[in-house]
Structure 1
């Protein structure tokens, strides 16, 4: 489902995704998008941030409360606070306008591929006071449960499985998001900040100029 109120942008995105073989619905307002998502249960939502009725953040919040679904957020603003709020309410990835339709299609394929491969292994992960129950996809730190988006969870598991290893941003982009072309390492940085906000700033160490390492005490 594509949620975009600009007719020209909507037409271009719809045409490109249909050319990629997807069946695509379109909504142009916040209320229409929520109603359509509840009715059609889309596999993925391409969601503009600024919409009539109510904005994309509220759409994402309401849809994710009903049923988790991958969300690619489109925004005309490159403000980090907006991006972090989007990730907090359940967006998995974002593109800043103007964007390449080829890159958008690649992101859509990558998000759907990652969602289809989300199999929950039984063995839990414990690193210090961090507990990851992979069977239930639940995360606790010091016994307190943290509510993560699907991509935040996948990123945390990837880091925890490689405890103390320094992982370059480019590798995280390739392994977690499944794409590299036309991407920005800010995607990784934004999700790391979201994890730190939810789990504590001391959990993930920044290695400047390289990437990140999970190093729970």
Structure 2
């Protein structure tokens, strides 16, 4: 990592990692789920709460096949921005880091709040609210929903979503997009079901072989 321009800090335990995160500001955290003292997913949740802007990439060997999404979804729901399944090459890891960090430093300027039915998406405050109640979204989930909300009723290709939310030179599988998109879709449905009054929220439609579309709220 040092030979590629990074200044890493290596923590052997989850406890020491939390101490380092509280002591200094970091751009990114590479988190192995197999730790001697804490559960890796619990550590990811704690880091996401304490360091909301930290880029978290999970390194896991728990999945036995790349088609098994269970641990991937658990990691992303715990607050991670991305994942890599062991074994992986340093070249791939560095490419992922460059893509994420470049995206963070070239974020577009904030826009006026977007309104679709009873849903308001405020890109300045990074809040997604129906009837004033916040829907909790991870950073990439919010970015995906905001991008779709700028084109309501339109089909947005997978390549455009990956280029604008991750990076135009994204290196790796696009399954990350599908797993991440499941988050806002599920949370919008839960918010509509939990609302005490009628709640007109848009729905996300999967366009197989093409991309996604955010349906206009009824």
Partner residue in 1 for 2:7: 23
Whether the 8 Å CA contact 1:48–1:74 is kept in 2: the answer is: yes
Residue 188 of structure 1 aligns with which residue? 177
Hey, what does 1:214 align to over in structure 2? 214
Gaps of 5+ in 1: 1-16
Deviation at 1:80, TM superposition (A): 1.8
The whole-number CA distance in structure 1 between the counterparts of 2:205 and 2:116 is: 14
Is structure 2 residue 59 aligned with structure 1 residue 77? no
The answer to whether the 8 A contact 1:57-1:89 is kept is yes
Question: Could you state the TM-score of these two structures normalised by the residue count of structure 1?
Answer: 0.85
1:204 matches 2:204:
yes
Compared with structure 1, are the counterparts of its residues 120 and 84 closer, same or farther at alpha carbon in structure 2 (3 Å cutoff)?
A: farther
Residue 45 of structure 1 contacts residue 71 of structure 1 at CA under 8 Å; is this kept in 2?
yes
2:54 matched to 1:65?
A: no
SS in 2 for 1:126: strand
Distance (Å, rounded) in 2 between the aligned partners of 1:67 and 1:119: 21
Query: Distance between the aligned counterparts of 2:168 and 2:31, measured in 1?
Result: 19
> Is the 1:130–1:216 Cα contact (8 Å) retained in structure 2?
no
1:49 is aligned to 33
Encode CA deviations 1:156-201: one digit per residue, 9 max, x unaligned. 1111112222222233222211155541121000011111121128
Give secondary structure in 1 for the equivalent of 2:120: strand
What is the alpha-carbon distance in structure 1 between the residues aligned to residue 126 and residue 170 of structure 2? 29
Segments of 5+ residues of structure 2 without an aligned counterpart are 191-201
Conservation of the 8 A alpha-carbon contact between 1:207 and 1:213: yes
RMSD over aligned CA atoms reads 1.9
